Structure 1
C-alpha cells in the first residue's frame, strides 16, 4: 500500500512541476512576490479575506462578497502558490492558436509578404476595438521594431503571443 501512495504522490508532483516549466525562473520569482503580497495573513493560501485586504490596500473598499467568492472559485481548490501559478499559466495560454492569429493578420497582408506597414498597424490598434494607448504602442515597437522600410513582421508577433518568446532563427 505504501508504494501506491508514493507513486500517487510522485505523479501529483509531476503535474505541479509542469507548471513551473512554463515560466522562466525570474517570472516564477515575480509571481511568488505577487503571491506573498496577496497572501496577507501569510498562511500559504489566498483566501477571500486576503483578497479583500489587498483590494482595500489598493483603494477598492466596497468589494462585494459575491465578487470575492467568484474570484476564489476560479481555482479548483485552495489557492496555494502552485495553484496561483497554474491559474496564470492557464490565462496566458488562453490566446488563440498561432494559425488563427496569423490568418487574421493575413487579411491585412493581401500580397502575403508576412509583414504589414507600421503606420497601418498602429492606426488599427489605436482606433479600433480595444484601443492601444501610446504607452502600449511604445512597448509594442520596442518589442517588435519595424524594419528600415517600416514593415512589421506579424508572424513573429503571432509566435510571441502564442509561445511567449521570440523564435530563434
Structure 2
C-alpha cells in the first residue's frame, strides 16, 4: 500500500464512515471534486467533509479525549485503547501516535489527519492485485500459515496481538485458507460481503 496508516486512525477508524465518504465523493459534482483536489486538504479541512461526517468525527474525538480538555494526549490514547481491550500499550507506541500530528491534536488537527489519510487510501483492485501476487493459482485464498509468516517477518511486522485480531476478524476455513478478497473488501468498504 502507498502509505503507512497511523496507529491512531487504525485503532479508532469507523469503516462505515469511510465507505460513505467514498460514495459521497464519487457521486459529487465534478466542480466540487476539483475544488477539493486543488485545496490540498489543509486550507479548510472542514470543506472536505459533509456536516454529518464532521459530527461523527467530533463524536469519535470526544470519546478519545477522555479528560475533555480539547486535546488528545498520550494519556487519552492509553485510556481509550484500554477501554477497547488493548492493555499495556508501550509509551513508545503512544508517543509515535501523538507525533504523527504536527502539534497538539485538537479537533481540527484530528479531522485533518483523517482527511490526509483518506487521500492516500488504495482502491480495492490495487489491494487485491497485491494479494494476487501471493496466489499464483488464482484461488482467491492464501494459506493462513504463509500469510502469518509474511505479516510477522516482513516490513511493518504484525505483533502477536495484531495477528490474533486479524484471525478473529477473518478466520481461515477448515483447510487453513484465508479469503483475501474478503479482507480487501472490508479494508475498502468497511463491512463483509453478503454471502
Question: Shared fold by TM > 0.5?
Answer: yes
Which of the residues 24, 28, 36 maps onto 2:62? 36
Measure how far apart 1:168 and its partner are: 1.8
Deviations 1:87-137 (A, max 9, x none): 425525632111111111111111100001000000000000000000000
Question: Kindly tell me: are residues 36 and 90 of structure 1, through their superposed partners in 2, closer, same or farther at Cα, counting changes over 3 Å?
Answer: same
Moved more, 95-104 or 76-85: 76-85
In the alignment, structure 1 residue 137 sits paired with structure 2 residue 160: no
Segments of structure 2 that go 5 or more residues without pairing to the other structure are: 1-27
Question: Kindly tell me: are residues 24 and 140 of structure 1, through their superposed partners in 2, closer, same or farther at Cα, counting changes over 3 Å?
Answer: farther
Measure how far apart 1:160 and its partner are: 1.0
Moved more, 88-97 or 152-161: 88-97
Count residues with an aligned counterpart.
168
Q: Residue in 1 aligned with 2:39?
A: 13
Moved more, 54-63 or 153-162: 54-63
Question: Kindly tell me: are residues 127 and 5 of structure 1, through their superposed partners in 2, closer, same or farther at Cα, counting changes over 3 Å?
Answer: closer
Measure how far apart 1:12 and its partner are: 17
Please report the TM-score for the alignment, with normalisation by the length of structure 1: 0.55
Question: Kindly tell me: are residues 110 and 82 of structure 1, through their superposed partners in 2, closer, same or farther at Cα, counting changes over 3 Å?
Answer: same
Contact 2:41 2:48 in 1 (8 A): no
Contact 1:16 1:82 in 2 (8 A): no
Measure how far apart 1:8 and its partner are: 18
Measure how far apart 1:39 and its partner are: 7.3
Measure how far apart 1:32 and its partner are: 3.5
Measure how far apart 1:36 and its partner are: 3.8
Contact 1:95 1:161 in 2 (8 A): no
Please report the TM-score for the alignment, with normalisation by the length of structure 2: 0.49
Question: Kindly tell me: are residues 72 and 142 of structure 1, through their superposed partners in 2, closer, same or farther at Cα, counting changes over 3 Å?
Answer: closer
Find the aligned partners of 1:59 and 1:68 in 2 and give their Cα distance: 15
Question: Kindly tell me: are residues 10 and 93 of structure 1, through their superposed partners in 2, closer, same or farther at Cα, counting changes over 3 Å?
Answer: closer
Task: Report the secondary structure of 1:16's partner residue.
Answer: coil
Task: Report the secondary structure of 1:15's partner residue.
Answer: coil
Moved more, 151-160 or 75-84: 75-84
Deviations 1:39-80 (A, max 9, x none): 799797999999999999999999999999999999999998
Question: Kindly tell me: are residues 147 and 28 of structure 1, through their superposed partners in 2, closer, same or farther at Cα, counting changes over 3 Å?
Answer: farther
- RMSD over aligned CA atoms reads 7.8
